[in-house]
Amino acid sequence: MAAQTFLLPDLGEGLTEAEVVRWLVAEGDTVAVDQSIVEVETAKSMVEVPSPFAGRVETLHAAPGATVAVGKPLITVAAPAPAVVAAATYREEEQAGSGNVLIGYGTSGGTATGRRRRPRNSNVRPSAPAVPAAPAVPATPATPAAPDASDASDAPTRRVPLVISPLVRNLARANGVDLRAVQATGEGGVITRSDVERAAERPAPAPATAVAGERRVPLNGFRKAVSAALSRSRAEIPEATVWVDVDATDLWRLRESNPAGPGLLAYIARFVVAGLREYPVFNARLDAERQEIVEFDQVHLGIAVQGERGLVVPAVIGADGMTTAQLDTEIRRLTASAREGRSTTRELSAGTFTLNNYGAFRVDGSAAIINHPQVAILGLGRIIDRPWVVDGQLCVRKITQMSFVFDHRVCDGGTAAGFMRSVADAIEDPASVIARL
């Protein structure tokens, strides 16, 4: 029997850690290659991680609720010699980029048991923002690789610690030493026992003292990612906001005339897509380095969804080619998956424009933050009865407020107002607009 330790792989999108939600196997269980062994939560979504090894589970290296860094031990499996050979073949395929199960992982043979994660959609159109493939993360190395000098400036933040000896790992664990922060002196950047002992002798930073009446709640991986994304958007994008009150009475009546038909959001999504055809500058991103506006041929319409984990924005891929009914079906599916934390990486990263229905929270307006690297976001408030003047007569109508936030670098207010009126006019006279679509 030979023990093989599986390190948490790179889950893509620059993620550096994941939280263990629940183990799908227990110590002593027998697992097969490609069998799902653990469910982890990343800053993007819930992911089932498959095993690259077959054999008996010896050690689960993290308890449910623990955060594991990419490159840290996840599970140790004891396998007979033939299985070790198979695992080596598996690694060759992994390095070739088969990517059949998880980013950087996959096999061409062997029967998998247990649940499988749905394969990534590799049919990405050239015009859409590309989803980068993540490199494979190797198992515990037999010999350390020399660090790349070109990455020296980034080493303290993204270096995966090189530890060969399990005794060194145990020593670090027993002394509460974070191996990522240890200065390695071994050949090729390997962390030695003396390195860990020196790190253990240094006094740990004093924990923050809570003032009476305060309670400190650490940010989880999801909130950290949200914080970084929103901070980047506000730091890089000079945004401007315009808004307008819209008479949605006719749209409301159209929806009520066919209760089994598409929902209001699907109609508005259709009008947004039509508006983006007329004003393609908003279905774009800004290449600041080359000083170019990059417009996309297709509309991948992001839909802001509030789930248990927080706000996510999965995209309706190819929304510009869908009917209102098809948009309704896809929006409902995306919303349900997002609320369960099951959105795919592709869905969460492909958006070219965002539609935010904050009216679902019974509010009228919002100065939303643009979903970087997009250049605009359209928000819709609640639809309520308000006094309104129609043909000189005061009456009660279904009124909503729309807000539009855009990157002022790509256009000026006149263009933004033109797009917003295009959508507003369609909401106010939906029948005539749908007839032309």
The residues carrying an active-site annotation are: 408
Over its C-alpha atoms, the chain yields an Rg (Å, rounded) of 26
**Strand runs labelled E in 220-337:** 239-247, 284-287, 292-295, 301-303, 305-306, 311-312, 315-316
For the chain, the residue count is 437
Contact 43, 225 (CB under 8 A): yes
Instruction: List the Cα angle 139/140/146 in 5-degree steps.
Output: 105
The secondary structure of 359-376 as a DSSP string is GGGT-S---PPP-TTBSE
H-assigned helices in 237-320: 249-256, 264-278
Q: Is 42 helix (H, G, I), strand (E, B) or coil?
A: coil
Whole-angstrom CA distances from 109 to 34, 37, 87, 338, 379 are: 10, 18, 11, 32, 48
Looking from the CA of 69 toward its CB, the CA atoms found within 13 Å total 11
Please tell me the distance from the alpha carbon of residue 148 to that of residue 155, in angstroms, as a whole number.
9
DSSP lists the bridge partners of residue 31 as: 55
Cα angle 424-425-430, degrees, rounded to a multiple of 5: 105
> Count of CB atoms within 10 A of residue 273's CB?
23
Q: 363 and 383 in contact (C-beta within 8 Å)?
A: no
